[in-house]
Amino acid sequence: MAERDSTPKFDFLAVVLLSVSAVAVYCNTLSAGFVFDDYLHIVDNPNIRSISSSLIYFQEPLPPGNLYRPLLLLSYALSWRAAEGAAWFFHGGNVLLHAANLVMLYLLLGKLVERRMALLAALILAVHPTPSEAVANISGRSELLAVFFGAAFLLSALAALGKCAGSGRLKWELAAALCLLLALLSKESGLSFLLLLLVFIWHSGPGQLRAFAFSRLAVLSVIASGAYAALRLSALGPSAATGGEISFLDNPLAHLSIKERILNASYLLTNYIVLIVFPHRQSADYSFAQFYPLSPVLRNMEIGQVLSIAIPFLLLLVGGLRARRRDPLGALILWFFSAFSITGNIFFPIGTVFADRLAYLATPSVAAAVLLMLSRSFGSGPATVSGVAAFAACAMLTFSHNPVWHNNLSLWTHQMKVAPFSFKAKANYGAALYENGRLDEAKRYLEESLAIESGSPGTYRVLGQVYSALEETEDAGMAFRDALAIDPNNPVTLKAYKEFREKHPEPLTQTEAPSGRPSKISSSAPRDLEALGPP
């Protein structure tokens, strides 16, 4: 039986608490600069210098060429124009979006659980360290925008379903369809809000799903989704459905069979639950050497791995059974699975195997589910105390972790602590050291990264710049040529190589052929994962 099915009234105190919590815990991000992908999408991207030029991303993919998120780039252009490229303004925009999301998610949670519990769950999201990358990192704005418009879609759709037929209902339906389209134009994971709408409709009562299937709202939602699909197909072409080739380093699951991918994705869903309930570590990189695909043979797995694979299947079963009884716990469990329906590598692989920021939408459902179970087991008082304690602990963890996102050096110094064997961590740490003039250290980490993966043109280019600064001319020339052999038309590498040759015009003695440095991982995934050995 549902414990609460009415819409919570607008609560000014709740809005203040959520907003103040978001601003207080993320105020120390305002002094941070641009980091990592921010340079590709913002700092070095001339198309976001004006609003008109940013509109090109409605027709073209987002760099590096396999993403379609035009509304994200438009928001960057608006921020750039408003503050002339000041990083604090971009960070401030993320914090404000986060605060707005908290209010809407609180209203949605209030349709499933009592208001106090909904507020506590939203407050925990406000300060939770696991999805904090979505707020502290400017490039995490895609998550925030998708949730902003996705939550607005849900609220509008549910308002429309609660109205009698008439012009008032049509306005809500049109608003819902527009918000769905905007969520999808922010990030493809906006599609998960359609599944989440079905969860809320199913929870509202028997027969409601069938009524929705033949409603005007359903038709408008399909039209909005179809419009997005057409725009995406026009911009990405044949790769619109798959997003293009996925690197084994970024997502080894993309190179597994469907069965193996689902087993590994299930294992990772359990890891998301653990990180939400016990946020013991935060990482900006889960590429290969951080996560190693599980053996497809059950008897070769450890007992903990088998349990981790089984838990999501059991939860999905429990959630479905409880949702049939209109139990809010069932709806919250299905909320969690809906949140990862697009980004969980379940139905299809995406560009990353795992990311803390992807837990943003799922976190309030897990928090509310845990609070609900505590309330049923021990009473509302202990549940409230536990929620407040979780809020305080998460706030301290997040506030202390935010400085990691201050600049590239702080980010990759942290990553070397949590992922010392990661190719990406070593390569980007080496690049950050080079930017800070620490040449010998940069050389060491860049060479170590290429010993893991020798197919990265960007790493060869930075290593060439390091060699050049160290006056190791022959090695520099060879590194630049390795970079150009892999990616001959890269403008950044071509510019760096031109500057190098202007400084060292004399003929180089090394061969023009690539160096062929050894690699543990080829550019295509090995079919025999066992042969690679542990990272």
Left if phi > 0, otherwise alpha if psi is -120 to 50, otherwise beta: which for 527? alpha
The whole-number average pLDDT for the span 249-262 is 90
CA end-to-end span of the chain, whole Å? 49
Q: Which pLDDT value is given to residue 336?
A: 98
What backbone torsions phi and psi does residue 83 show, to the nearest 5 degrees?
Answer: -130, 15
Q: What is the DSSP string of 238-258?
A: GGGTT-S---TTT-GGGGS-H
Task: Report the C-alpha gap between 189 and 211 in whole angstroms.
Answer: 26
408-452: pLDDT as tens digits: 999 999 999 998 888 899 999 999 999 999 999 999 999 999 998
Q: Which pLDDT value is given to residue 506?
A: 63
Q: Which pLDDT value is given to residue 244?
A: 66
297, 529 Cβ separation under 8 angstroms: no
Task: Determine whether 174 is exposed, middle or buried from the number of CB atoms within 10 Å of its CB (0-12, 13-18, 19+).
Answer: middle
Q: Which pLDDT value is given to residue 503?
A: 85
Dihedral of the alpha carbons of 514, 517, 523, 528, in degrees to the nearest 10: 140
Task: Please give the residue that has the higher pLDDT: either 362 or 515.
Answer: 362
User: Residues of the chain with pLDDT > 90: what percent?
Assistant: 71
Picking from 39-43, 330-334, 393-397, which range would have the lowest pLDDT averaged per residue? 39-43
Q: Which pLDDT value is given to residue 88?
A: 97
The most distant pair of C-alpha atoms in the chain lies apart, rounded to whole Å, by: 81
The whole-number average pLDDT for the span 273-281 is 93
Q: Which pLDDT value is given to residue 186?
A: 97
290-312: pLDDT as tens digits: 777 887 776 778 899 999 999 99
The whole-number average pLDDT for the span 149-167 is 87
Task: Report the C-alpha gap between 391 and 126 in whole angstroms.
Answer: 9
Name the DSSP letter for residue 453: -
Q: Which pLDDT value is given to residue 250?
A: 87
Residue bearing tokens 């419009």: 227
Closest CA to 41 of 11, 70, 18, 19: 70
Closest CA to 111 of 210, 11, 7: 7
Angle among Cα 206, 207, 212 to the nearest 5 degrees reads 125
Picking from 6-15, 51-60, 456-465, 469-478, which range would have the lowest pLDDT averaged per residue? 6-15
105, 122 Cβ separation under 8 angstroms: yes
Q: Which pLDDT value is given to residue 455?
A: 86
Rg, Å, the chain Cα set: 24
Residue bearing tokens 């809005």: 15
Task: Report the C-alpha gap between 109 and 105 in whole angstroms.
Answer: 6
Q: Which pLDDT value is given to residue 3?
A: 42
Number of residues that make up the chain = 535
Q: Which pLDDT value is given to residue 7?
A: 43
Q: Which pLDDT value is given to residue 9?
A: 54
Whether the predicted pLDDT of 523 surpasses 60: no
Identify the three-state secondary structure at position 194. Answer: helix
pLDDT band, residue 242 (cuts 50/70/90): low
- Provide CB contacts within 8 A for 438, sequence distance 6+: none
Task: Report the C-alpha gap between 106 and 114 in whole angstroms.
Answer: 11
